[in-house]
Each structure stands twice: as structure tokens, then as C-alpha cells.
Amino acid sequence: MLHERTGFRSEPSRGPRQGQAASRIKIAMLTASASLSDGGPPTALRAVCQAMRQSPAISIEVFALDRDADSDRVGWGDVPVHLLPVRGPRSFGYSRSLQAALRSSDADLLHVHGLWMYTSIAARQWAVHTRKPYVISPRGMLDPWALANHGWKKQLAMRAYEDAHLRRAACLHALCESEAQSIRALGLTAPICRIPNGAALPDGMPPPRPGWRAQLPADARILLYLGRLTPKKGPAPLIRAWANSRASATSPWHLVFVGSGPEAYCAELKALAAGLGVGETVHFAGPLYGPDKAAAFASSDAFILPSFSEGMPNAALEAWAHGLPSLLTPQCNLPEGFEYGAAIAIEPNELAIANGLRRLTGMTDGERRAMGGRGSALVAKRFSWQVVAAELEAVYRWLLGLQERPETVDLA
């Protein structure tokens, strides 16, 4: 059974079954982490689950590896979250009780978020046992940069279990066209649905002023980096570019990092800023969630994410939702931002980032406000969580034979 690779038929639907167009369906979401401190994937999953819970025709529950029982349940509201204990290395996430928990859910379909862990093995075993379909959201983990990072480990995992997991999927979920191309480049032939991440527009209530903002000069302009502090997202080139561009700066801009990362790496970043002489204008606020994160966006003047690789960063969408002009790399996979004039394109290297910083800080307040306004309008038009949830539900219904194939799905 461990080498069984029989997939589901590529065209699951022959049209709605009579009397079943509005059938209630039960979906199990499987993720390695439910903790919002683990960045974008849990945050996106939480938001889409909450949007789906508003539909009377779908039932959602989440299965996750137990990272920290207290923090893992924060922010999920009334979405049922089942945390399964892990044995052995957390990087693999073996959970003896996961299989039994999934089978007890009696789900019609399983949606797997992320790769390279025991959850991939559990999903395939669930499908073999139940003969029901599953969807995989790689969330950027099949992009070339991601595959090359710790590449030998991923090659071993691909041979041991991940290839079979991917090839048995009823559908693969790509956040953008670039991710879809990366999936096809690996020879995977399952249907692909192209559905982006989403964001929520602010509710109009002004959030409280964050504590870190009170420690900066009253006239400071804030450039916000919000995300995991990891080499993949380019914080070190950003700090070097910041030092490069400060020589010609005439306005009181400060760079604020919001996010968590390995202690040793965060210490390296702080030492880098100090060694380059910009420690007074580079600040590390730590991770922020919920209202505190919203307050960080509301207290900032612009946003930057100089990533080498992303699926589709929630933080960039949230920055647009809050009306912030942005500096983004093409690797953030949000070309709409450049097309709509909501973002300035930069490459993930010191020189390009420094040039982008000079362009941003050289704009007038009115020009930056106009750019941020275009970002807010773009989120309202294309990246609503309600739209994302409805598109995913349509894919689930197609795979279960309850409706025709949606336009978001392409066959190989």
C-alpha cells in the first residue's frame, strides 16, 4: 500500500447529481501547524475557514500537529481545531493518533496544507483507507527556490513519500500562475485550481497606537517589514540596502521588523544593523497578532517584503488592505500590484532594494497615499476571503461530483 499511486479520475464531475446541488459537505483541513506564530499558512487557513463557516452548505474542521496547545487555538473562533500529539523530531511531525482522528471525522474530502512532513503520509493513507479525494495546497513549497533549500532532504522525502502523495491528489491548489508552472514542471498531472490568498479590509475602527511606535520620534515615517525573520524573506539584504540608501535620505524614515525567527538569526540581524551604523533607525518589534498586527499596519507609512521565494504572502495583501504603498519582489507572486500601480518592483539584492527605497522615500505624501489607495481597491476587487472561500467550495463540490468543473480548475 505504501507505494500505491492510483489517483482519482481527472474529470470527477459529470454535472450536478439531481437534488444534490446544495448538499451539505464536510471538509477536513490538515496542516502541520495551527499556530499563528508560524506565519502565513496558518493565518491564511484560519481566515478561509472562518469565511467558509458562514456558508450553511459546508462543514469545516481542522486537524493540526500539537505545537503549543494554548497558542495553537488562538484566533480560530468557533472553527473546530483538533491538535494531535507529536512523537520524535518536530521537523517531521510523526503523530501516532493522527490517522484515527482523521478517520473519525467522516469527512467527505481532505484538504492538505503544506508538504514535507508526516501529514503527507497520513493524507495518502487516509485516501487509501476511505477511497475519498484530497486536495493539496503546496503553498510555495514546490517553487524552485524552496526545493533547492535543504534540497537533499527534500529529494529523500520526495522518493520516500512525497511523490506518491502528490500524484494521488485529486487536485492541486496553486496560489498563482507561477506556482502552477512550478507544479507542472515536476511532471505532476493532477488538475490544478488557481485560487489566491485573501485579505480583509479594515473595519473602520481605529486600532490602538502600538507601544513600539511611542518609542520612535513623533515625525518618524515607518517602513514596515512583517513576516518571519528568515533568510528566504531577505531581511539581511534589506538592512544592508537600508544602510546604503540612508546616505541620501532627507526624511526621518525608520525601518520596523515585525515577526519572529530563530534567536541566533535575529541576533545576527541586530548586529548587522548596529555594525552598519543604522541601529538607531532599525527596530525589532517581535511577533504581533490580531489587533496588535492591525495596529502595526495602521501606524506605518509603507510596507516592504524583499523575498527570494513566496507562495503568495498574506502580509503583502494585508498591507494593501490597510492602504500602504509597497516594495515587493516579483517572487512574491503578486504581479497585479505592479500592474495596478500599488507596488514598486524590487529584486532581492542590496542594490535593487536600495534603489527601491530611494524611489519610495522620494515620493510625495500624496503619491504614496494614491499608491496605497490603489492597493486597497485591488484587495476589495480581487482578494476578498469570501470570494476565496466560495471558489474553494466550488472545487470541493466538483471533486465530489456535485457540480460542473469551475473556471478556476485547469486539467493537465
270-295 mean pLDDT:
93
Tell me the CA distances in angstroms from 206 to 85, 184, 384, one per residue in order.
39, 44, 21
What's the pTM value of the predicted model, to 2 decimals? 0.78
The region, left, alpha or beta by phi > 0 then psi within -120 to 50, assigned to residue 270 is alpha
Q: Which cell numbers hold the place of 292?
A: 496588535
pLDDT tens for 318-343 read 999 999 999 999 999 999 999 999 99
Confidence category of residue 52, pLDDT binned at 50, 70, 90? very high
More confident residue, 371 or 203: 371
More confident residue, 188 or 10: 188
Per CATH, the number for 211-382 is 3.40.50.2000
Give pLDDT, residue 5.
Answer: 30
Looking at the domain 25-198+385-410, which fold is it? Rossmann fold (3.40.50)
More confident residue, 110 or 311: 110
Of residues 242, 250, 305, the one with CA closest to residue 279: 242
pLDDT tens for 137-156 read 998 899 888 899 888 999 99
Q: Over 80: is that where the pLDDT of 409 sits?
A: yes
Question: Which residues, 6+ apart, have CB-to-CB distance to 13 below 8 Å?
Answer: 398, 399, 401, 402, 403, 404, 405
95-118 mean pLDDT:
94
Give pLDDT, residue 74.
Answer: 64
pLDDT tens for 217-245 read 999 999 999 999 999 999 999 999 999 99
Residues of the chain with CATH 3.40.50.2000: 25-198+385-410, 211-382
Q: Over 70: is that where the pLDDT of 110 sits?
A: yes
Averaged pLDDT of the chain: 89
Burial 298-335 (b: 16+ CB within 10 A, else e): bbbbbbbbbbbbbbbbbbbbbbbbbbbbbbbbebbbbe
Q: Over 70: is that where the pLDDT of 15 sits?
A: no
Give pLDDT, residue 7.
Answer: 38
Neighbouring C-alpha atoms within 13 Å toward the C-beta of 303? 32
More confident residue, 259 or 35: 259
DSSP alpha helix (H) spans, 215-262: 235-246
